[in-house]
């Protein structure tokens, strides 16, 4: 299909009214799980999986990106020179990221349905949101068209669409980098709760990158209580607890690979 914002939006609009299944299960998550070879993504928060799927299905994967974690997607656009401030004009087909709590970290992502002048509201379409203000804006139940306020926008990425006349990229004439599959580091031996090992620090960095561990926590070789609590939350969220354990503070090879993929993939 053509690399245009219209093609991206045509695919996005096919899914208007789509509702998630039990435990956040979606078609978009199933697709992403196959992409990264990890079934847990089929049940993950799916706003970015939806945007990424629409990019893939419309022939725009190389310029829209393929992500499940909004902050990583933001960094991808920044690294390509295609990031714009919330105060700037929006173009149809831009990928708009939202920061509901004003902490500088992207919480949600949608696609701009039309151009928008600086300061004006933005017409969008997005997944894992609600049909109105009464429900969760970044953990809703379906795909909906929305009108968003600039005060909620962190910024937006502008894909380098190849067809002129609707929306253009800002990559300075550079050829966009190809999408590559992320490979997490190998699971380290000896990493376990209440043990001291250098591999605890990269674990803590990845937990910080995904928001599970506070930025103010000092990195340490000790796999202590704060790291354990963060890992337990991550395990529970992604269904990685050992059978019969409602609280599981140990990271295993599968959880390690998923954590690093979410953090840096």
Three-state SS sequence of the chain? CCCCHHHHHHHHHCCCCCECCHHHCCHHHHHHHHHHCCHHHHHCCCHHHHHHHHHHHCCCHHHHCCCCCHHHHHHHHHHCCCEEECCCCECCCCEEEECCCCCCCCCEEEEECCCECCCCCEEEEEEEECCCCCCCCCCCCEEEEEEECHHHEEEEECCCCCCCCCCCCCCCCCCCCCCCCCCCCCCCCCCCCCCECCCHHHHHHHHHHCCCCCCCCCCCCECCHHHHHHHHHHHHHCCCCCCCCCCCCCCCHHHHHHHHHHHHC
Mean pLDDT of the chain: 88
Assigned token pair, 123: 């017409």
The pLDDT of 113-123, averaged and rounded, is 94
pLDDT at 173: 38
Residue of 263 and 115 predicted with greater confidence: 115
Give the pLDDT band (50/70/90) at residue 181: low
37-46, 127-136, 144-153, 163-172: which has the minimum mean pLDDT? 163-172
Q: Could you count the other beta carbons within 10 Å of the beta carbon of residue 108?
A: 25
The pLDDT of 36-50, averaged and rounded, is 91
Separation of alpha carbons 43 and 264, rounded Å: 19
pLDDT at 169: 36
The pLDDT of 50-78, averaged and rounded, is 93
pLDDT at 166: 41
Q: What is the pTM (predicted TM-score) of this model?
A: 0.64
């Amino acid at each position: 299909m053509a690399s245009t914002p219209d093609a991206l939006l045509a695919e996005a609009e096919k899914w208007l009214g789509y509702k998630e299944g039990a435990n956040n299960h979606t078609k978009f998550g199933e697709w992403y799980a196959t992409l990264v070879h990890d079934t847990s993504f089929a049940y993950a928060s799916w706003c970015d999986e939806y945007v990424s799927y629409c990019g893939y299905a419309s022939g725009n994967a190389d310029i829209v990106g393929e992500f499940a974690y909004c902050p990583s997607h933001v960094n991808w656009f920044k690294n390509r020179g295609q990031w714009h401030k919330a105060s700037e004009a929006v173009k149809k087909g831009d990928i708009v990221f939202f920061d509901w709590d004003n902490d500088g970290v992207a919480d949600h992502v949608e696609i701009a349905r039309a151009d928008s002048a600086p300061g004006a509201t933005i017409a969008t379409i997005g997944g894992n949101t609600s049909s109105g203000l009464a429900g969760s804006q970044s953990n809703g139940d379906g795909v909906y068209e929305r009108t968003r306020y600039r005060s909620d926008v962190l910024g937006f990425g502008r894909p380098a669409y190849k067809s002129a006349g609707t929306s253009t990229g800002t990559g300075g004439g550079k050829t966009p980098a190809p999408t590559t599959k992320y490979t997490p580091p190998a699971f380290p031996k000896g990493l376990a709760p209440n043990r001291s090992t250098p591999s605890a620090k990269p674990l803590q960095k990845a937990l910080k990158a995904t928001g599970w561990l506070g930025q103010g926590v000092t990195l340490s070789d000790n796999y202590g209580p704060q790291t354990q609590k963060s890992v337990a939350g991550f395990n529970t969220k992604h269904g990685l607890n050992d059978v019969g354990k409602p609280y599981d503070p140990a990271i295993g090879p599968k959880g390690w690979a998923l954590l690093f993929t979410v953090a840096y993939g």
